[in-house]
Chains A and B, each alone.
Chain A
Amino acid sequence: MCGVCGCGEGAAHLEGHSHSHAPDLSQARMIQIEQDILGKNDRYARANRDHFIRHGQFVLNLVSSPGSGKTTLLTATLNQLKGAIPMAVIEGDQQTSVDAERIRATGIQAVQINTGKGCHLDAHMVGHALDELNLEANSLLFIENVGNLVCPAAFDLGETLRVVILSVTEGDDKPLKYPDMFAGAHLMLLNKIDLLPHVDFDVEKCIDHARRVNPDIQILALSARTGDGLRPWLEWLRNQRNALLNARIAQLETQMAILKARAD
């Protein structure tokens, strides 16, 4: 049985209200419950997020359609940053561990989650993957979600930020066709820009579409294959991670000051 959440083997979950009421079999009655359908996932996501904050971990949830170049982008990124920042990867796919093997070939540790029939990762799966990873404090963790522009949008994993990757071979109307995914993302990476001369993809139009569904979305264009535009992406990563670490430092300093005052 899982020691964290008690899942498996029919174990009891947290209830907090264990006595039973005598059932009234005589008639139907109405019950107001007002429960979020995603409430359970959101509770696991909060637990993951608390864990990440406590350990100063910067976590990105990478979402896209299949074939957008997520894994190629990841291996290029890992090769550039390894040695400078401790990193790890959680790979989500319906089947196979092909992607995790590609990641491990860079020398970075990776855990593969196979969702089987599932079309998305959820926060519970990620919690278990964390048990398997030997994650150093202050790491940069990439979670590569299942390739799917629909379902992963609804499931918070506890990540720090969400990055949606869109390749120019997919069409500039994708942000309008799959608005939930773009509405929830902090950054949109336009990938495969080396192919722009060969496809009908209007970059300005795509940016306009993305901003319609999400006025705050940040946007970078690159080619993971040629390395063009990779530097601004790496800078974005460093800046965002530094912001997170500085916030954590400020928080710890406040706690230290309180402790010192109490010790005196």
Chain B
Amino acid sequence: MEILLIGVLLLAGLAFGTLGSHFFGVPRVVGYILIGMLFSPDLLGDHLGLDTARWTQPLVAIALGIVAYLIGGAATIGQLRRLGVSIITATVGKVAGAFLLVFAGFVWLGVSVPDLPVWGAPLVLAALATITAPAAIVAIIHQYRASGPLTTALLGMVAMDDALGVVIFSVALALLAADGLASALPLLAWELVAALVIGGGGGWLIERISRLLHEHELRLVALIGAIILLVGLAEAWHFSGLLAAMTLGFTARWFGGAHAERLFEPVEQLEEMVFVLFFTLAGLYFDLSVVVEHGWLILLFFVLRGAGQVIGSWIGARLGGAPPAIANNVGLGMLPQGGVAVGMALMLEGQPRFAEVAILAINIITASTLLTESIGAFAARFGLRRAGELNEANGGHDGEHDNEGK
């Protein structure tokens, strides 16, 4: 039954998403989420006897491992240097701003869940707030043929900031996995050091192996096999699979030299499928009663995350010496939030300790994704227009929302 449902979710999600985008101009992710909702327990799920918690976790863990590998392999050290100081500082500022404001706001309001310390739920939500959806921003830039320093800064930042988000999320989970602060430090050290060492060693190994595999198809098997093996080891040996997969990507890119396409292109082709899976699964967990009960939390998360990003990226960009046109507008272009955050929230669901916060996080992230799809796109357009980088003569062509939200 579960295999049948995965097939239905992928195909119906794809059909609903693309048709909605084509006929109504709504982002594809909306269609994906709606299809997932259709199979949630409140609608068809209970009638079909589906127990989502039982079978979705391995899928989510592998899919998230694939995305983390791609995030890790996004840039080389040389490329990071060429991005420039102001883009790096603005990225750090944006991530720090979103994290701190969401964390402070939710702690101040006393949002907590059973099984976790009072700062547990705010920490998880703050970590999820650091993630951005590059595809939504690229879609707007492409639609309006935007170009200029702000556009360059935005493209660089959205490619890089999820790496920081993965690190923060991994540290947050390691902290929360410990029973007290005394046991947290050794546990944290093991979770992170093991992930870095094993992921790093794996990256070196897979790069060496890939040199022997000239066929594209065989490299794909090796790469996916390595990611799954690493995620499995992380589960068995209790270290961060997400961080390990990201380190795998980073070191594979590092050892792979200049031309890393052979190590990433085969896996990149799976990314769309991963995001369809994440959004439809998030829809499965969508609980209207949670959304209604915590509607104000969703709004608060959206506002705090947005404000934190705008303020943080402004401070970071100014510290890095960016001109006002970039500093004043770059945070506005970073609001869209999507698949990676949804995947991370889904991952929490598999661990009993995080079950309560998982349901809250999945529903907040899914609902705020729908919000950022419209308001985030508007804010990005506003920022690019204010910086004089929008070529509006080219705006409004078909497929405006085709890739948003991922």
Q: Do A and B come from one complex?
A: no
B→A interface (CB under 8 Å): none
